[in-house]
Amino acid sequence: MKFRRNRQRENVDINLASLIDVVFVLLLFFVVTTTFTRETQLRVELPEAASATPGQPDEGKLVEITISADGVYSVNNHLLPKSDLDTLTEAIQKESGGDTNLPLAISADGKTPHQAVITAMDAAGKLGFSKLRMTTVEAAQGNP
C-alpha cells in the first residue's frame, strides 16, 4: 500500500502576544502583592538585659525614638537634621500629633552616649509622655 504525501504541511505559528500579556499580568500581580521590609536609617545594636520582657502587642500608633552609637536621632524612622533637644521635641510633637497618651519607645545603641538617652527622655518628659519604654534584647544564655 502506498500512501500519498501530496499535502503540504501547514506552518504552525505560536501567537506570542497573548503569552506576553499573561506574563505582564503575573508580573503586575507580584509587584502589587509584595510586602516590603521596614528598613531603618540608623544601625542600632541594642544593649542586652538578662530580665528582658517580651514586647507588648502592637497598641496601634507608637512613637519610636532611635539613637545611633554616634548620638544621631531618628523619630519613627525619620532621620533628624540636628541632634539637639529642640529638634527632637518638635519631631516627637509632629509624630504624635499632640497625643501624649501614645506609648513612646527609646531604642538606643549599646554604645550610645548616656547624655543622648537622657536628652530623649527629657524631650518626652517635657511633652508629657507617661508611657515610656526602653528597648533591649534578651541576653544570650551563658553570657555573664
| E strand spans, the chain | 48-49, 63-67, 73-75, 78-79, 104-108, 132-134, 137-138
Q: Which amino acid is at 112?
A: T
Residue 142 φ/ψ region, left for φ over 0, alpha for ψ in the -120 to 50 degree band, beta for the rest: left
Q: Residue-wise pLDDT tens for the chain (144 aa)?
A: 666 666 677 777 778 888 899 999 999 998 888 876 665 555 666 666 666 555 554 556 888 999 888 888 999 888 888 888 899 999 999 988 888 888 889 888 888 888 888 899 889 888 888 888 887 766 665 555
Contact partners, residue 40, CB within 8 Å, separation at least 6: 66, 74, 77
- Return the C-alpha cell found at 54: 517580651
**Nearest 5°: CA angle at 46, between 43 and 49?**
175
How much is the pLDDT for 24?
94
Cell 554604645 found at? 111
